[in-house]
Amino acid sequence: QVTLKESGPALVKPTQTLTLTCSFSGFSLSTTGVRVSWLRQTPGKAPEWLARIDWDGERFYRTSLKTRLTTSKDTSKDQVVLTMTDMDPGDTGTYFCVRHGILGSTRGNWFDHWGQGTLVTVSS
């Protein structure tokens, strides 16, 4: 059974750095083809993709946020970490980690398993 769970601070101040951890089970990020992404969502809006990390360490970032985002993995702990610098009230939202879909030997970029999300509020 695949599960993902996000953890981190519920409240951060403007200009601070946010660090979120995704702890997962039921799969390994050392397995060829496995991918994990981070997304965020504000109330009433669609999810917004932020970053992706692959089994081989390759990373992809949303262009508009690239200078502020870093994602890394710790395969021994089955965890992925997202850091976002220079937080702003506009970054307030629920942050999700997700696993990319797998069908047979095909690795896709749809999201078949989601964490419950963690609400992050940016306020002084």
Q: Does 46 bind other proteins (CB under 8 A)?
A: yes
Identify the CA nearest to 111 among candidates 35, 26, 1. 35
Q: Does 3 bind other proteins (CB under 8 A)?
A: no
CA atoms within 13 A on the CB side of 95: 27
| Contacting residues for 30 by C-beta, under 8 A, at least 6 apart | 55, 75
Among 49, 83, 85, 92, contact with other proteins (rule: CB under 8 A): 49
Nearer to other proteins, 45 or 105 (CB): 45
Identify the CA nearest to 97 among candidates 13, 44, 25, 43. 25
Among 21, 60, 70, 75, contact with other proteins (rule: CB under 8 A): 60
State the residue for tokens 């610098």. Answer: 85
Q: Does 78 bind other proteins (CB under 8 A)?
A: no
**CA 66, CA 69: separation in Å to the nearest integer?**
5
Q: Does 58 bind other proteins (CB under 8 A)?
A: no
Q: Does 7 bind other proteins (CB under 8 A)?
A: no
Residue 124 beta carbon to other proteins: minimum distance, rounded to whole angstroms = 27
Summarize as ranges the residues that interact with other proteins (CB under 8 A).
37, 45-49, 52, 60, 62-63, 96, 101, 103, 108-112, 114-117
